[in-house]
Amino acid sequence: MNQLDRLFNQFYDNALEETVKAVGPVERKLTLKSSLVELLGDFSYLDETRVELKPTVKETKEFDDYTRELISLPVTELIHIPVYVLTPKNEQQTYAAVLALHGHGYGVNEAVGLTKSGEEELGEPGIHKQFAVELVKRGIKVFAPEVMGFGDRRLTRDKEAGNINSCEAMATNLLMEGKTLAGLRIWEARRMLDYIEACSDVDTARIGMMGFSGGAVITTYTAALDLRVSATVLTGFPNTFKGSIMAMHHCIDNYIPGILNYAELPEWISLISPRSLFIESGEKDPIFPNKFVEEAIAEIEKYYHNRSEKFAYDIFPGVHEISGRKSYDWLIDQLLSY
């Protein structure tokens, strides 16, 4: 370890020392939540320009056990979110619902079983494992939006340059304005929850979220702030800041200026408690190392000491990918138990 390594370790240690506050757990939680809203950036302008959540159906496809619709959901005059809505074919009047957020790749198509060009994926599923399809086949109504910056929601400059996403361009522009890309995506996720809550066939007491990688970043902070989310699955993100996004190259959408001055990542994740939380991670994930996943789990578990049935995890044989071997059924059990 050279002198600069030691210097940056001191920066980290000093930031953590500043997080120690002589307040009780309730006050601490409220302080962190209000601080998070500020850290993410001020998007109140978007609230002032919101329009009626009246979707347009672009496409409908029937499968043996579910229906898949592609809708365009207007949120403001300039924000229209493409969303795949997957509805089970059964006799239920209302469904438990999940907001499913994809990670880096070619967009929402990876979550719903489509290729980059929009054709049905007939080969082996990629790291997203078509998780939206897996959930709908288990009887859950799934809402899978295209996250801003991916697929069709890239900036013109990135489409023309052939860049797979607009994360860097969007994030750097927002940082210059005192905002964050995470904050914008979380704002959108909460508008998606508004829409899900308004759907007549959704049981509003049974709304969950599942996010993978960059989608888990959005899911973490959305679930922390929004009490409508009763059960959450995080895949390929829970860790420590120092062990993951401060230790190696990551997409800029992971970084929220000043956040370490308030808490390390496990405590931010713990804001979801006492609501249900499941963490899954590949034991050989190269960008969210297992050693620090285990550290994070041990810390988060303390916040569920008297509600152990609300917290579970799975370290599966794999890399940076979704598994679902335990998380899918856990999520369904938690949503149906409310």
Q: What is the pLDDT of residues 115-164, one digit of tens each?
A: 999 999 998 899 999 999 999 999 999 999 999 999 999 999 999 999 99
Q: What is the pTM of this model?
A: 0.96
Q: Is residue 32 assigned to a domain?
A: yes
Strands of the sheet containing 95-101, edge to edge, are: 56-62, 66-74, 80-88, 141-145, 95-101, 202-212, 231-235, 276-282, 311-316
266 assigned to some structural domain: yes
Domain that holds residue 81: 26-115+126-337
In a domain, residue 285? The reply is yes
Helices and strands (H, E) in the chain, number of each type:
12, 9
The closest alpha carbon to 211, from 224, 197, 199, 194, belongs to 224
Lookup: tokens for 22: 């002589």
- Residue 272: CB atoms within 10 A of its CB come to 27
CA distance 167 to 187: 16
- Please check whether residue 4 lies inside any domain of the structure: no
pLDDT beneath 50: ranges in the chain: none
Q: Looking at residue 17, what is its pLDDT?
A: 82
The pLDDT of residue 157 is: 97
CA-to-CA distance for 214 and 290, rounded, in angstroms? 17
Domain membership flag for residue 76: yes
Residues facing 80 on adjacent strands: 74
> Is the CB of residue 134 less than 8 Å from the CB of residue 326?
no
* 62 part of a folded domain: yes
CATH of the domain at 39: 3.40.50.1820
Please say whether the beta carbons of 167 and 252 come within 8 A. Answer: yes
Q: pLDDT per residue over 1-44, tens digit each? A: 899 999 999 999 998 886 656 578 889 999 999 999 999 999 99
Q: How many domains does the chain have?
A: 1
Taking each helix axis from N to C terminus, what angle separates 25-40 and 181-198, rounded to the nearest 10 degrees? 110
